[in-house]
Chains A and B, each alone.
Chain A
Amino acid sequence: MANGTIAIDDKSFLEEGTTKKATGIASWLFSTDHKRIGLMYLIAIAIFFFTGAILGVLMRLELIAPGRTIMDAQTYNTIFTLHGVIMIFLFIIPGIPAVFGNFFLPLQLGAKDVAFPRLNLLSFWIYLIGAALVLISLFVEGGPIDTGWTFYIPYSVRTTTNVSLAIFAAFVLGFSSILTGLNFVTTVHRLRAPGMTYFKMPLFVWSTYATAWIQIIATPVIGITILLVVLERLFGVGIFDPALGGDPVLFQHMFWIYSHPAVYIMILPAMGVVSEIIPTFARRTIFGYRAIAMSSLAIAFIGYLVWAHHMFTSGISETAAIIFSFLTFIVALPSAIKVFNWVATMYKGSIDPQPPFLWVMSFIFLFSIGGLTGLVLGALVTDVHVHDTYFVVAHFHYVMFGGTGTIFFAALYYWFPKMTGKMYNLKLAKFNAALFFVAFNTLYFPKFIMGYMGMPRRYYDYLPEFQNLQVVSTVGSWLMIIVICLIIYNLLSGLLNGSKAEANPWGGVTLEWHIASPPPLENFHEIPEVTHEPYDFSQLKNMKYGLKGESK
């Protein structure tokens, strides 16, 4: 198996590491334990998320009034670019797979670790190196990148800012993603506990598995594209730049061939978490298990076929536009299958509205709004009107932040007691969830209206008629930063001063709830034999840690 010896004492992974000699922080930085690596990702990703959020607040502050408010136009360009690069490449793409996938995939499979623990540590280190390169690109000569996170040609070839270094950082981060994907696919194929057939795997495992395939197959495309842009910038090779005989639309094709499936790298694991949380708090088996599992694979596959819907106004052929518009409507189907099955799971359930469940309710509303406005953008007629306006910005924030971001918080609140063995303040967490819903809609809903009215995205200045809605949105950004600070406060104070958590505080039945909190070094003293369906709540009364940790 993955890691040599079997832990026989009752020490948790927080007390006992995989490194024999290293102590203190080194025992974390050189640990091959998937749980420690997951927590290290969590710390790194939380720092980047907070940085990205602060940049977002600064952007909103600049836009509170027309004209210059707190920064000049070039600074604004670099800030919205950094906000995008940090949020996309350092937070939301690695986000749920790197933190919760790493921590819970082996636990839910009944394994002692991932298939390649050292490769796992390597991918964490590569992530750190990529992040360091992004930081270096801010301070070396040339200045921070100002192209927007999409690095569109020809501007990205001609600007004098540090495009080459910043996109090379994205190239490095891609390797981290590929290695994580490889690790997860192998783990699912090779390390399932006895009795755990594919259709007994928890749905978070299914969605992480589908995501891992996208990470492996799609990420090399962005790697190649980035290298071609760097070649073009350094040696003037005419691949994309029309002035040199290249084709800028080819760049957009290659960029979105990765970046659209990447949207599913972001959202699929979140959907998996939802499929864990709803049955636990509805105390009822999931409705349509196979449909949800298969829809993850369907999303992963169809997700490759829709990329050019980002390019309807870029000059692609009408035939291509019609085909991609049709395929975009098709990809809405598996997403809808999931939403309907989640709602059906709650029907006649015995619902316990604890904080993780409330976050999931937020998710269903916000993600549905994001998904349905995606159809507005996927339809050729309406896309021409709202393309590159705030409508697009609102849409992807509803999907990405309202979808994946919300579920990142839901997952934190759901699994925090398992990860740390401590409990946070439940009342504050419920208040967080409610305030988040208000803050989110205050911040982003006005953008739908402004976009529909014609406010272009990424503009530094605007006409006076947009000011009222811009102010509402900026106030929303203040509420949002308060929510984020409250979450951090609640979890940190839970970690430092919180009461000891029960091993199974929510009454979950997947394998991570069968062991102590926090889990021991190699997870299971004995590899479990899986006899039940993943969401069979009849096993709760026979579990070692039944509801509220009544140890048998």
Chain B
Amino acid sequence: MQEHHNNETHQISYSTYLLVWVSLLALTSITVTVAGVHLGDYTLFVALMIAAIKSALVINIFMHIKFEDPIFKVFLGISGFTLLVIFSLTFFDYIYR
């Protein structure tokens, strides 16, 4: 039962890695900058969006999920969905308090 469907490993170029790394640094500096700007209710939303983009980059490129079998994407999707639900439910407390 352990046969592998795609034995070819997808090669990612160094330039892509470098680009992702620079993007992550850029997004981190945006997070820090935004923390100093008063955005009211949107502060947390912006911070979470940036964090989501950064996670997507790391998961897809550094962790190679983009090039893996669909089953891994499903597993990761379940975890991501659960996290989203947990965040949403928590906000029912904080928004209406």
Binding site for B on A (CB under 8 A): 189-192, 213, 216-217, 221, 249, 253, 257, 301, 304-305, 308, 315-320, 323-324
Contacts and interface: CB of A to CB of B under 8 A. Distances in A.
Given A190-B1, A192-B1, A320 B93 contact: yes
B92 A190 contact: no
B23 interface: no
B7 interface: no
Given A191-B1, A217-B79, A305 B93 contact: no
A318 B86 contact: no
Contacts of A257: 86, 90
A308 B86 contact: no
B12 interface: no
B85 A305 contact: yes
Nearest to A194: B1
B10 interface: no
Contacts of B96: 317-320
B97 A323 contact: no
B37 interface: no
A253 B88 CA distance: 12
B82 A217 contact: yes
Contact of B92 (A189, A192, A320): A320
What are the 10 closest A-B residue pairs judged by CB atoms, nearest first? Answer: A317-B96, A320-B93, A319-B96, A320-B92, A317-B97, A316-B93, A317-B93, A217-B79, A217-B82, A323-B92
A304 B97 CA distance: 21
B89 interface: yes
A174 to B, nearest CB: 16
B6 interface: no
B15 to A, nearest CB: 33
B2 interface: yes
Nearest to B83: A217
Interface string B6-48: 0000000000000000000000000000000000000000000
Q: Count chain B CB atoms within 10 A of each CB in A189, A216, A217, A253 and give the residue with the most.
A: A217
Contacts of A249: 93
Contacts of B94: 317
Interface string B70-97: 0100000011001001100110111111
14 contacts: A217-B82, A253-B93, A257-B86, A304-B82, A304-B86, A308-B89, A315-B97, A317-B92, A317-B97, A319-B92, A319-B93, A320-B89, A320-B96, A323-B92
Nearest to A252: B93
Contacts of A253: 90, 93
Contact of B97 (A191, A308, A316, A324): A316
Interface residues of B, number: 16
A316 B93 CA distance: 6
A397 to B, nearest CB: 28
B86 to A, nearest CB: 6
A111 to B, nearest CB: 10
Contact of A305 (B2, B89, B97): B89
A304 B93 contact: no
A189 to B, nearest CB: 8
Contacts of B82: 217, 301, 304
A68 B97 CA distance: 42
Nearest to A115: B2
Contacts of B1: 190-192
B73 to A, nearest CB: 14
A47 B31 CA distance: 49
Contacts of A308: 89, 93
B32 to A, nearest CB: 17
B71 to A, nearest CB: 8
Nearest to B89: A305
Contacts of A317: 92-97
A226 to B, nearest CB: 17
Nearest to A185: B75
Contacts of B79: 216-217
B82 to A, nearest CB: 5
Contacts of A305: 85, 89
Contacts of B85: 304-305
Nearest to A316: B93
A249 B97 CA distance: 12
A305 B71 CA distance: 25
Nearest to A190: B1
A213 B92 CA distance: 25
Nearest to A322: B92
A213 B96 CA distance: 31
A316 B91 CA distance: 10
Nearest to B97: A317
B14 to A, nearest CB: 31
Contacts of A190: 1-2
A331 to B, nearest CB: 13
Given A304-B86, A308-B89, A319-B96, 4 more contacts: A257-B86, A315-B97, A317-B97, A324-B89
A213 B77 CA distance: 13
B22 to A, nearest CB: 27
A191 B2 CA distance: 8
Nearest to A315: B97
Contact of A323 (B78, B86, B89): B89
A110 to B, nearest CB: 11
